[in-house]
Amino acid sequence: MNYIEKLRTSEDMVTPGMSACQGCCGELVLRRILQISGKNTIVCVPPGCMSGAGVVGWDYQTGMKIPVHIPLLTNTASFLSGVSQMYQRKGRGDVNMIAVAGDGATADGGFQSLSGAAERNEKMLYVCYDNEGYMNTGFQRSSTTTKGSRTSTTPIGEAINGKQQPSKYVALIMSMHALQYCATASPSHMQDMVAKVERGLAESKKGFAFIHVIAPCPTGWSFEPDMSIQIAKKAVASNMFPLWEKYNGNYYITVENKKPIPVKEFLQSMGKYKSLTDDDIAQIQKEADTKYETLKKLASE
């Protein structure tokens, strides 16, 4: 069964009408992950775009057809550790434990609980949909926001020109824990993403699995809603977001980029980078190249 057949026959677990913006990749990622995991799932959605859009429910109503929890921004992984431990004790190790968290709840506030859960090798799948900022509250900077990006807390002006620091590479940091499975995925490469989620779910029965998914945000990044998938494609093609996975201690690059497009093409396709100078672009290009070279070295070992 190929991935399209799988997606068209599986049931949608999320409420049909949720208030995510037009063209939201976070919504797409959430729906696809839960379509693959199916009914036998418990999901944790910390505060962020997705819980704000109503998937955890509102006013005594639920937003999903499966049990859904809203922990705090900081304790998603530790909360789910407890739920997972209880299910193991009850003899229900077959239940999929999934956290779908934004980058703020993964890389900033929730990082200590995430790192702790990964170190304890708790049995769960933690998915981070990375829209590079706190989009739910109006695009404040987060630690995964890329350098030069305009946010509401790092505006373009005389004093600074967008975010000054490069982004934190959470997926690589997480992969350095002795976890069961770690991967990056993009909704534009759906076949790859579906395969990674399936593998992640299988590995989550044995230990901690982490998947980092890029989720371009039309509202925050300033591009037309219909271009979301194109932007994700460009992020992969320009090596700004390389796709790789780690299991059994080995790294594998899953989508090889033989001829990467210049990052300029990716940066100029949206509004949040519009103030970048040529020097900035050259520097971002260098960082992207270094990132890919590092991954290639890790994968070749």
Partner 1 sequence: MSKRVHISPLANEGMYILDTASWRTERPVMNKEKCIECGLCLTYCPVNAIIFDENKYKITYNYCKGCGICAVECPKKAIDMVPEGGGK
Q: Would strands 96-102 and 181-185 be described as parallel, antiparallel, or unpaired?
A: unpaired
- Closest separation between CB of residue 4 and partner 1, Å? 4
Give whichever of 77 and 194 is closer to partner 1, judged by the CB atom: 194
Burial (CB count within 10 angstroms: exposed 0-12, middle 13-18, buried 19+), residue 195: middle
Say whether residue 58 binds partner 1 (CB under 8 A).
yes
- Tell the residue number behind the tokens 């350095």, with chain if given: 176
- Closest separation between CB of residue 283 and partner 1, Å? 31
Stretch that binds partner 1, among 54-62, 73-81, 140-148, 245-253 (CB under 8 A): 54-62
Write the CA distances from 134 to 88, 182, 223, integer angstroms.
34, 23, 17
Separation CA 219–CA 276 (nearest Å): 19
Site for partner 1 in 147-176 (CB under 8 A): none
**Could you say which of 88, 161, 219, 230 contacts partner 1 (CB under 8 A)?**
230
Say whether residue 229 binds partner 1 (CB under 8 A).
yes
- Closest separation between CB of residue 228 and partner 1, Å? 6
Separation CA 47–CA 173 (nearest Å): 23
Say whether residue 300 binds partner 1 (CB under 8 A).
no
Ramachandran area for residue 80 (φ above 0: left; ψ -120 to 50: alpha; else beta) = alpha
**Could you say which of 33, 64, 211, 217 contacts partner 1 (CB under 8 A)?**
64
* Per-residue tokens: 230: 């194109």
Site for partner 1 in 22-51 (CB under 8 A): 22-25, 27-28, 31
Residues in contact with partner 1, counted by CB under 8 A, come to a total of 41
Give whichever of 66 and 124 is closer to partner 1, judged by the CB atom: 66
- Closest separation between CB of residue 78 and partner 1, Å? 23
Say whether residue 199 binds partner 1 (CB under 8 A).
no
Separation CA 166–CA 153 (nearest Å): 15
Separation CA 182–CA 210 (nearest Å): 5
Write the CA distances from 80 to 12, 16, 68, 208, integer angstroms.
22, 25, 11, 11
Interface characters, 65-104, with partner 1 (x: CB under 8 A): xxx-------------------------------------
Closest CA to 25 of 186, 255, 265: 186
**Could you say which of 20, 49, 83, 240 contacts partner 1 (CB under 8 A)?**
20
Say whether residue 187 binds partner 1 (CB under 8 A).
yes
Separation CA 137–CA 41 (nearest Å): 28
Give whichever of 6 and 147 is closer to partner 1, judged by the CB atom: 6
Give whichever of 9 and 300 is closer to partner 1, judged by the CB atom: 9
Sign for the pseudo-dihedral over CA of 78, 204, 255, 195: negative
**Could you say which of 70, 156, 173, 190 contacts partner 1 (CB under 8 A)?**
190
Element (H, E) at 175: helix 170-175
- Closest separation between CB of residue 87 and partner 1, Å? 16
* Contact residues for partner 1, defined by CB under 8 A: 3-4, 7-9, 12, 15-20, 22-25, 27-28, 31, 54, 57-67, 187, 190, 218, 224-230
